[in-house]
Amino acid sequence: MATDVTQGNVIVANATGCLEVTTTAYPGSAWRVPWVHSVFGNAAAVATGVRAALRAKGVNDVPVIAQAGDGGTADIGLQALSGMLERGDDVLFIAYDNEGYMNTGVQRSGLTPTDASTMTTPTGALSEGNPHLKKDLLSIVLAHRPAYAATATPAFHKDLQHKMQRALSIQGPRFLHVLVPCPLGWRFESRMTMEVARLAVQSNLFPLAEWRDGVLEKVKRIGAPIPVEDYLTAQGRFTHLFDGERGEIERGFLQQIADENARRLGIASFGR
């Protein structure tokens, strides 16, 4: 989509991940735009270098995009992302958040939600899945006062396209957080991908919003919120939460997270 919006006039720096390995098996490449991959955690810093080189060459009309999964953004790539944002580098960073290390076989990342079952946070006699909170990535990004930041998901395709266009029309450090459900890792049928993404938004677990210079600008209204349970039951990774007393408490906790998201953005929460 980004390459469509820019009509190929773009340079892309990619982190290691499934997007990289599935599109660039040497000597072939699916990319029709200049594309560079280095290692897992440095997409933002590579993009910084690309932008600096373009500046040195006097080229100012080529957008630079860095892209990474949730690990390459919020965990191993967080320091490089922070540096890129803090220096004010003119780069659009796109995070494809599928809430785990899916390329390596579904392990927990810092963006895996609480209670999700993964290969490194399995459920068991002593475990309800991931014991940690999903890292508040947006707040970390916003603390850097980026020129533009937004959350989006392919379930709201027009909204995503609008944000991509908007992001590409602005100069300075920009950040797009895209929630991308992973059928394998979240355990649902592929045909349900858009539906699951839509439920994440409607339940307020992943609200869609835009920020300019670190200040909330706009929240997408999507009608009456749905209970978090509707989102959880659509996936296999939360099945254990519907089995016993402990699960009920955990479900309540996840609903609280959704309610808190709504409160912070000033939108309606479920049942209020």
Partner 1 sequence: MTPARIMEGSEAIAEAVALARPQVIAAYPITPQTHIVESLARRVAEGELESQFLTVESEHSGASAVLGASATGVRTFTATSSQGLLYMAEVVFNIAGMRLPIVMTVANRALSGPLSIWNDHQDSMTLRDAGWLQLFAQTAQEAHDLQLVAYRVAEDPSVSLPVMLCVDGFVLTHAFEAVEPITRDQADLLLPPFAPWYALDPSEPVSMGTYAEPAVYTEARYAVHRAMLDSRPVLARALDDLAATTGRRYDPWLDTYRVEDADVVLVAMGTAAQTARLVVDELRGGGDAAGLVAIRTFRPFPAQEIRDALQTVRRVVVLDRAVSLGADGIVAGEVRAALGDRSTSVVCVIGGLGGRDVARETLRRAFEATEDGWIDLKKELVIR
Return phi, psi of residue 83, to 5°: -60, -45
Residues 6+ apart with CB under 8 A from 242: 232, 233, 251
| CB distance 53 to 47 below 8 Å | no
Q: Does 42 bind partner 1 (CB under 8 A)?
A: yes
Residues 6+ apart with CB under 8 A from 271: 227
| Residue among 91 and 152 whose Cβ is closer to partner 1 | 91
Which residues between 73 and 102 bind partner 1 (CB under 8 A)? 79-80, 82-83, 86-87
Q: Does 26 bind partner 1 (CB under 8 A)?
A: yes
Q: Does 13 bind partner 1 (CB under 8 A)?
A: yes
Binds partner 1 by CB under 8 A, chosen from 56, 125, 126, 215: 56
CB of 205 to partner 1, least distance (A): 31
Residues 237-260: b if buried by 16+ CB within 10 A, e if exposed: bbebbeeeeebeebbeebbebbbe
Contact stretch for partner 1 (CB under 8 A) within 53-61, 114-122, 126-134, 205-213: 53-61
Q: Does 143 bind partner 1 (CB under 8 A)?
A: no
Binds partner 1 by CB under 8 A, chosen from 2, 5, 39, 191: 39
Which tokens is 217 given?
């600008």
| CB distance 160 to 178 below 8 Å | yes
CB of 160 to partner 1, least distance (A): 23
CA distance 162 to 122: 38
Q: Does 172 bind partner 1 (CB under 8 A)?
A: no
Residues in contact with partner 1 by CB under 8 A are 8-11, 13, 20-21, 24-27, 29, 31-39, 41-42, 44-57, 62, 79-80, 82-83, 86-87
